[in-house]
Structures are given as structure tokens and as C-alpha cells.
A and B are shown apart, each in its own frame.
Chain A
Amino acid sequence: MQPLEQPTAPDAQEAAQAAAIGIDQSAGDFSYDIKYDYDAGNGLTENTVRYISAVKKEAPWILDFRLNALKTFLAKPLPTHWATRDLENIDFEKIRYYLAQGQKPKRTWDEVPEDIKKTFERLGIPEQERKYLAGVEAQFDSEAAYSNVKEIVAKQGVIFMNSTEALREHPEIFRKWFGKVIPTSDNKFSALNSAVFSGGSFIYVPPGVKVAQPLQAYFRINAENFGQFERTLIICDEGSEVTYMEGCTAPKFSTATLHSAVVELVALKGAKIQYITVQNWASNVYNLVTKRGLAQEDAEIKWIDCNIGSRLTMKYPGVVLKGRRARGEVISIALANDGQHQDTGAKMIHAADETTSTIVSKSISVGQGRATYRGQVYIPKHLKGCKNNTECDALLINTNSRTDTYPAITVRGDKHATQHEASVSKVSEEMIFYMQQRGLTEAQAMSLAVNGFINDLANQFPMEYSVELKRLIELEMEGSVG
């Protein structure tokens, strides 16, 4: 096991800063030459699916679920009739669908294999865990290498483990909702995930339990030509509350990497789920993720989604407002730098009276970067007293940056209140000069302008994340100004 690159020892302060929440892509641009004990090889056939299922010693119903999904995946065309044709450049035959050193995550960092442990240490995960997290799952390629939840949280009956373990140990809890919020056939990539999924978090919070500190998962891609397909299912029982945060990075390879997750949230009566993503993928990652929550009566689901990096991100977190007075919220920040396309947005499906949804999307396009907002809000005729508020703001840094907005708000019936605002603004030369005149470099001025643009949203994040987001934007802007 030879490290590709010896980890350099940055000075202590710099390391501590970079490690704030471990999603700094430049700090994440390293990989180790791991010897994988389990490798499904390149390409996707029925055998690939059977291999994954066998390695995980899965129940027959899961294998059936996977095989059906494979058929759906193969039958579905790429959605290029509305999405970018860049999807056609994904070479499904080249991708490696399963790579792991083992299936059972370790409960202490000391047991984690050396190079994998080093990876997460460089990303600062164990340190954050000590500081402010209730539990951590650290996934390395296909499987979680480490998974632990603090004892006081476990004692409350909270289950926090990876999908492999959870489906084996608690099928009675998870099977009921597995694949119910996002059916296999939702889209081509949800079908792909359903066929080859591995890793991801399964969380159950018992009635009335409010988990005080966040649970965090970290998804790390290490191998080249790899596809990461984690599957996350969070069930909050009646009146319970949880905040879940995920971070992701990958090293920069010359070939494309695929990340295609499925995340399902279930908030039962009066429950609250807050799901925070800050991802900063390397610029050759296809990030095609399906995320949706189901909110029962008086429940609340809030997605906070920050997308930085990747070659193409397609992600539209959604909430199905199934119970009366359910609330859904999506806060989305996307930064599309040169050569990147952030195709992001939100879906709000109102399915009960007096349900409320809010979408706030802010995108920033830099250089040749392209940001697309795609929204879907649906309020059927037979309901009454529903509310939606959609706001999408785009900021263009250069004249050749690009932004498109497809809001699609369908409201039937007249007993609802909806509001939609959209704006496109440019960072003006005058404003940059004004800031430069105060002594800021052009890059500092740009990043301050961008941080100002998202300021009201970033303030809603937990502190560690908003600080990290600011820093990431600074790094992105530094790289983009000549």
C-alpha cells in the first residue's frame, strides 16, 4: 500500500483552518493507492448487481429490488430532451461500481485502515466529530469505513448506521419506507442508484426525540473511474427532530467520476428534519442526485443545499407535502465556475390543505460557468389554503457567464397564495473598482461581492458551515481572477 503522494505537513494553524469542515477541494485533492479487497470491476451487468448483493449478504428482496432497478435503468433513456447533452459523455462501461476494503465500518478511528484514516484526518473529520457532532459516518468509495454515534444519542434509541447494516439489522423499520419517497423509476439515475447502491446513512429517530447536535456523513471518493452510489434514508418519528449534514470531496482525476445518490426523508406527524449539504466536488465529477422528503401533518422538512464544484450537477431537492399544515423549504446556493454547469433547483408537491413551501435559490456564474435554476411547484385544484414563495436570484460575474431560470409553478384553484420573484444581477465594474479603491484585490473584491450576494442565506447555516462556505467562495474566486 503505497501512498500516491506523501501528505505534506502544513503548519498547524493552516491545517486547522482548512479542516474546518473538510470540504475544501484543494485540500481534498489527494488520493491513496488502496488495495481493494472487493471490486466489482468495470461496467454494469446483472453480474455486477449480483456481486454487490452477494458481498453484502443481502436478503433476497433486496437483490430483487436491485435487479428490477437495473432493468429500469437500462430501459430509460437519458433525459437529454430537457437536460444537457453532456450526460451523453458518461461512459457507463468504464465506471467501477463497487470498491471496498470490507463491509463493516469501524466504531473507533484506531481500527480504521491506515490510509483511509489518514484521508479523513486530512479532511478534519475526527476533529469535528469531537467538537460538535452527535454522530459521524465516513464513507470511503463504496462503504463506510467508520461509523459511530455518541452514546447519549444511541441511548435515546436513535439508529444511525449505513444502509448495508440497517437493512440487515432493522428491516422492520427501514423496509417500509425504502424506495417509497423516490421510486426506482423516478429517473434514470435513481434507477441506477437503486441497482447498485452502497453506503449512505440510515437514520431513525424515535417519537419525541430531539437530537441536539447534528449527525454528519462524509462522502469521499478515492478511486479513479469510480461511481459512488450512496443511499440515505432518514425517518423522523412523530414529534422528533434531527439535523443531518453531509460533505463530499474527491481528488481531481483526468477521467470523469460519477456520484449518483438517492436520499429519502420521512418526517412523520410534527417531526422536523433539516438536511444540509455542502459539497465541493472536483471539476470532473458528474453529480446526479435525487433528493426528496415526505412531510406528514405538521411536519417540516428543510433542505439547505450548497453546490460548489463538479463538472455537472443535477439536483432538485423536493418535499411532498402530504399532511395538513406540512411545511417544506429549499435553500439552494450554487456556484458555477469555468467549465462547470450547476443545474439545480427544487420541487414542492402540495398534497394537503394549508401546506406551505418556500424556495430560495441563489446562483453565481463565474467566467464560462453556467447556472440553471429548475423548479417545480405543484398545487392541485382540490386543495385550499396552500402557500408557495419562490425566489431565485442569479449573479453573473462576467459577461460571458450564463444563467437560465425555469420556474414552472402550477397552481390550480384560487384558494392559494403564491409569490414568485426572480432577479439577475451583475457584479458591476464600478462596484469592483469601489472595493479595490479601498485596498482589496480584484479577487478579494469579487469574493466579498459573492459572499454579500448569498449573505442572508449563509447566515441560516450552522456557524461552522457558513464560515467554511465563505472560505470556499474565496478560494473559487481567487482561482477565477487572472
Chain B
Amino acid sequence: MHTLEIRDLVVALTETPDKPIVKGVSLTIKSGEVHAIMGPNGTGKSTLSKAVAGHPDYTITGGDVLLDGNSILEMEPDERARAGIFLAFQYPSEVPGVSIANFLRAALQARLGEGEDLDAVGYYKSLYAKMDMLKIDRKFTSRAVNEGFSGGEKKRCEILQMAMLEPAFALMDETDSGLDIDALKIVAEGVNQLRGPKLGVLLITHYQRLLNHIVPDHVHVMYDGRIVKSGDKTLALELEEKGYDWLKTETAPAVS
């Protein structure tokens, strides 16, 4: 049982620390829970997730992020990753010349102690099983990470990595965008299979339809750097119906 607590987090671009993008967000995710964040473009959803993962473009100017009660802000991005935080990127990077198989192998090897070696047979077995689950062709193991991948293939590759690395918390940034209807189902099924008492999820999405497949325990609305409303899965339906404008007036006082 783990807890990821985002406490009054203020995030700015490293080059302009006095202009916050995320303006005081608090959110606690426990193992087994799925939280969804929705909100208009440019309100800071990706910024929040990248800042938690330790992206160097961002500086945290206020608040804290605690993993099981301990601040992770002094940790390097790779230490946070090994501590169990996984970010499924909205725009995953290409890694030219490095095959998916080698990349994941290196990532898993990095989690082992000095002198320990990954068992190659077991590794491939588990890789193939997870590719089958996500209906990814085995030919992909030898393709360079994300290089020349279609938008949907990139997203599926992110979930494959998540499945292999078995994080304690997954921050999934618009994993549904770019997926066709069938792929959306496959990815959602994949996430649902990983869902369980060991995994906490923060799901960033614009669309209710993903939440039909991955049913969230909590839904939060982010607006201009703040969480302006939280509720259960019905909140997503309400947003789908009304859009975001009504929140401006309704929640303005609660925000300050």
C-alpha cells in the first residue's frame, strides 16, 4: 500500500520561476485508486505530471510531492522512476537506434543491484506476454523506441513499458489521444488488467469515452493551474455535457 501525495504544488518554468503554471494543486492518490484529471488545453495538466516526474524544464516553487510520506523533490528523475513513478508521456520521445527490447531490458537492469543480471529468458517471456495482452506485433521488439511509430503505436508502447516496469504510480497523460476505437479498448483493457491493489493511477484525459472503459474512482477538473472541482465519475459526464465554461463562475470563489 503506497501513497503519492501532491501538496499545494506550485510549478513554474525554470526560466520564469515567478510565473506559475500550476498554482497550488493538492491531490492524494493511494494504491488501487484511479484518479482522472480533466480540463481545458493549456491549464497545466502535463506540467503537473512532468513536474512530479522531475522534468528539468520545470521548477517547483511551492508545496511538495511525497511518496509514502517522504519528499521526492530532491530526487533525480531516474531515482523517482525507480522509486515507482511512471509517466506515460503525452508526446513520447523517439530513441533512434535503440530497440524496444534493449531499452526495456536496460530499464529493468537499472532496477537491479550491482552484480545482479536480468534473466534473459524470463525477460523475453514476460515481454512477449505483455505484448500479446496489448496486441502489439512481436516484430516491434526490434524496432527502435517510438521511431517512425504512428501516434497510436506510440501510446501502446507507453503502456507496454508501464506493464513491464510495474510502477507503484502511473501518471498517464492523454494516453487515449490518437487511438482508434479498437486500440482505445485494447489499451483500456491493458490498464484495467494492471489496475489492482498495487497500482495507483492518475489519468489525464479530455474525453469521457476513456472513462467508460477505465472507470475512475475520482474525477478532478483542472482550470488555470488549479483543481477547481472534484467528484466521482458522474462529474466527467457532467463536463461532457456542459463543457468547462460553467466552472468559471460556479467555482471562482472556491479557488482563491
Interface residues of A (CB under 8 A from B): 428-431, 433-442, 444-445, 448-449, 451-456
B98→A448 contact, CB < 8 A: yes
* B106 interface neighbour in A434, A440, A453, Cβ under 8 Å: A440
* Interfacial chain B residues near A440, Cβ < 8 Å: 78, 106-107, 110
Q: Nearest B residue to A440 by beta-carbon distance?
A: B110
Q: Nearest A residue to B78 by beta-carbon distance?
A: A436
B110→A452 contact, CB < 8 A: no
Q: How far is the CA of A438 from the CA of B98 in the complex (A)?
A: 14
Q: Given A431-B93, A444-B110, output 18 extra A-B contacts at Cβ < 8 Å.
A: A429-B56, A433-B55, A434-B92, A434-B95, A437-B87, A438-B103, A438-B110, A439-B81, A439-B107, A439-B110, A439-B165, A440-B107, A444-B78, A448-B95, A448-B103, A448-B106, A452-B95, A452-B97
Which secondary structure dominates chain A's binding surface? helix
* Interfacial chain B residues near A441, Cβ < 8 Å: 76, 78, 110
B92→A439 contact, CB < 8 A: no
Q: How far is the CA of A360 from the CA of B94 in the complex (A)?
A: 23
7 tightest A-B CB contacts, nearest first: A452-B97, A434-B93, A455-B97, A452-B98, A436-B77, A438-B107, A436-B78
* B165 interface neighbour in A438, A445, A448, A454, Cβ under 8 Å: A438
Whether B144 sits at the interface, judged by CB under 8 Å, is yes
A437→B53 contact, CB < 8 A: yes
B76→A442 contact, CB < 8 A: yes
A439→B111 contact, CB < 8 A: yes
Q: How far is the CA of A324 from the CA of B147 in the complex (A)?
A: 40
* Interfacial chain B residues near A433, Cβ < 8 Å: 55-56, 77, 93
* Interfacial chain B residues near A439, Cβ < 8 Å: 78, 81-82, 107-108, 110-111, 165
Most buried by B among A440, A441, A442: A440
Q: Nearest B residue to A452 by beta-carbon distance?
A: B97
Q: Nearest A residue to B94 by beta-carbon distance?
A: A431
Give min CB distance, B203 to chain A, whole Å: 17
Whether B161 sits at the interface, judged by CB under 8 Å, is yes
Q: How far is the CA of A428 from the CA of B78 in the complex (A)?
A: 16
B165→A451 contact, CB < 8 A: no
* Interfacial chain B residues near A430, Cβ < 8 Å: 93
A435→B97 contact, CB < 8 A: no
Q: Nearest A residue to B146 by beta-carbon distance?
A: A434
Whether B96 sits at the interface, judged by CB under 8 Å, is yes
Whether B89 sits at the interface, judged by CB under 8 Å, is yes
Give min CB distance, B142 to chain A, whole Å: 11
Q: How far is the CA of A428 from the CA of B92 in the complex (A)?
A: 13
B81→A456 contact, CB < 8 A: no
Give min CB distance, A17 to chain B, whole Å: 11
Interface size class of B (residues with CB under 8 A): 20 to 34
Q: Which of B94-142 contact A (CB under 8 A)?
A: 94-98, 102-104, 106-108, 110-111
Q: Nearest B residue to A431 by beta-carbon distance?
A: B93
* A454 interface neighbour in B56, B97, B108, Cβ under 8 Å: B97
B81→A437 contact, CB < 8 A: yes
A442→B98 contact, CB < 8 A: no
* Interfacial chain A residues near B82, Cβ < 8 Å: 439
Q: How far is the CA of A434 from the CA of B104 in the complex (A)?
A: 12
A434→B110 contact, CB < 8 A: no
* Interfacial chain B residues near A449, Cβ < 8 Å: 95, 98
21 sampled A-B residue pairs with Cβ under 8 A: A433-B77, A434-B93, A436-B76, A437-B53, A437-B77, A437-B78, A437-B86, A438-B110, A439-B107, A439-B108, A439-B111, A448-B95, A448-B98, A448-B103, A449-B98, A451-B98, A452-B95, A452-B96, A453-B96, A455-B97, A456-B97
* Interfacial chain B residues near A454, Cβ < 8 Å: 97
Q: Nearest A residue to B81 by beta-carbon distance?
A: A439
Q: How far is the CA of A440 from the CA of B103 in the complex (A)?
A: 9
* A428 interface neighbour in B93, B97, B165, Cβ under 8 Å: B93
Give min CB distance, A360 to chain B, whole Å: 14
Most buried by B among A435, A449, A453: A435
* Interfacial chain B residues near A455, Cβ < 8 Å: 97-98
Q: How far is the CA of A342 from the CA of B95 in the complex (A)?
A: 25
B96→A444 contact, CB < 8 A: no
* Interfacial chain A residues near B87, Cβ < 8 Å: 437
* A431 interface neighbour in B81, B95, B165, Cβ under 8 Å: B95
Q: How far is the CA of A441 from the CA of B94 in the complex (A)?
A: 18
B161→A438 contact, CB < 8 A: yes
Q: Nearest A residue to B111 by beta-carbon distance?
A: A439
Give min CB distance, B87 to chain A, whole Å: 5
Give min CB distance, A434 to chain B, whole Å: 4
A452→B93 contact, CB < 8 A: no
Q: How far is the CA of A442 from the CA of B76 in the complex (A)?
A: 9
Q: Give a binary string over B7-29; 1 marks a CB under 8 Å from any A CB, 0 the rest.
A: 00000000000000000000000
Give min CB distance, B104 to chain A, whole Å: 8
* Interfacial chain B residues near A445, Cβ < 8 Å: 78
Q: How far is the CA of A327 from the CA of B96 in the complex (A)?
A: 30
Q: How far is the CA of A434 from the CA of B81 in the complex (A)?
A: 10
* Interfacial chain A residues near B93, Cβ < 8 Å: 428, 430-431, 433-435
B81→A436 contact, CB < 8 A: yes
* Interfacial chain A residues near B161, Cβ < 8 Å: 438
B144→A438 contact, CB < 8 A: no
* Interfacial chain B residues near A429, Cβ < 8 Å: 56-57
* Interfacial chain A residues near B56, Cβ < 8 Å: 429, 433
Q: Nearest A residue to B115 by beta-carbon distance?
A: A13
Give min CB distance, A55 to chain B, whole Å: 49
* B97 interface neighbour in A434, A438, A442, A453, Cβ under 8 Å: A453
Q: Give a binary string over B54-77; 1 marks a CB under 8 Å from any A CB, 0 the rest.
A: 111100000000000000000011
Q: How far is the CA of A429 from the CA of B87 in the complex (A)?
A: 16
Give min CB distance, A206 to chain B, whole Å: 41
Q: Nearest B residue to A428 by beta-carbon distance?
A: B93
Q: How far is the CA of A454 from the CA of B104 in the complex (A)?
A: 19
